[in-house]
Amino acid sequence: MTTINEVLLRMDQIVAECHQRQSRMGYFAILYRQVTRRIRDGILAGEFLDNPRMELLDVLFAQRFIEAYDFWNANQSATQSWRLAFQASSNSKHLVIQHLFLGINAHINLDLGIAASETMRGKNLLDIKADFDKINEILAELVDDVKANISKVSPIFGWLIPLAKGKDEMLLNFSIQLARDGAWKYAKEYHADPNKEFQINDRDNNIAALAQKLINPGKLLSFLIRIIGFAEWKTVSKTMEQLDQVAHKTFQKF
């Protein structure tokens, strides 16, 4: 893939495959497809500091998710962060929001820094900082709106989570802004280190540990999750359709 339109064609295929297979990876795929559409429109509108460079960043960024997805389906090894997200997608006990955050965790906390560095190979990484922040702002706006409208797929999520307020839980405190800051710090480390394989493996170990916290929250939140789960859609395809509607309405606001 060399263009953002090619990325979108592949994302359409992945969403369709997940819908047909009743795969919960489709939840993240729907969200990410809308982010990619938003970035494409921003590029066409000349919204970014360097629009051709943003397209390259988007393609390299998307390729990491798409390759992980293809590896998983071919029973080949992906990074630990993605492997945990894919494994969790086969389990009906996790909430929609957990699946979304597991995908975002792997893609922002690990993939984005790598993609930013590869986009700026042989160049000053700092030159892409403004557009790096912009791509995160777009994702954060979409995720925040989906969370605000999560009642479409999880009717009692908003009622029960405040009961766990004050608990130091990854699921409750997951922040796109913090992920962005961590991703930029990692991008600088990755960009400066000639041993790229070490950087990826070391970072992947740390991000996989965060994924484990998303999958296995504390006792109180686990109890609440079981209650919330009873009220969520049980058919994956229906949940995907609802998420797509929520994401599309958010997309129209931009």
Q: 107-159: per-residue pLDDT in tens?
A: 999 999 999 999 999 999 999 999 999 888 888 887 777 777 766 777 766 66
Residues in the chain: 254
Q: What angle do CA 67, 68, 71 make, to 5 degrees?
A: 85
Confidence class for position 234, pLDDT limits 50, 70, 90:
low
Q: Which pLDDT tens digit goes with each residue over 161-218? A: 666 555 545 566 667 777 888 999 999 999 999 999 999 999 999 999 999 988 988 7
**78 with 66: CB under 8 angstroms?**
no
Residue 99: pLDDT over 60: yes
C-alpha–C-alpha distance, residues 110 and 173, integer Å:
18
Residue 217 sits at φ, ψ, to 5 deg, of -70, 180
Q: What is the mean predicted confidence (pLDDT) over 218-237?
A: 73
Phi, then psi, of 226 in degrees rounded to 5: -60, -40
- CA-to-CA distance for 96 and 232, rounded, in angstroms? 8
Q: Which structure tokens are listed for 240? A: 């995907």
For the stretch 30-69, pLDDT in tens is 999 999 999 999 999 999 999 999 999 999 999 999 999 9
pLDDT for position 186? 96
Q: Check: CB of residue 80 under 8 Å from CB of residue 208.
A: yes
Q: Which structure tokens are listed for 147?
A: 């969370």
User: What's the mean per-residue pLDDT of the chain?
Assistant: 87
CB 98 within 8 A of CB 217: no
pLDDT of residue 228: 74
Cα 42 from Cα 48, distance rounded (Å): 7
Return the number of other C-beta atoms located less than 10 Å from residue 140's C-beta.
17
Which pLDDT value is given to residue 176?
Answer: 75
| AA letter at 102 | L
What confidence tier does 232 reach under pLDDT thresholds 50, 70, 90?
low
* Cα(151)–Cα(161) distance, integer angstroms: 12
Higher-confidence residue: 147 or 26?
A: 26
Token pair 């995908």: residue:
103
Distances (CA, A) of 127 to 36, 49, 53, 220: 22, 9, 11, 45
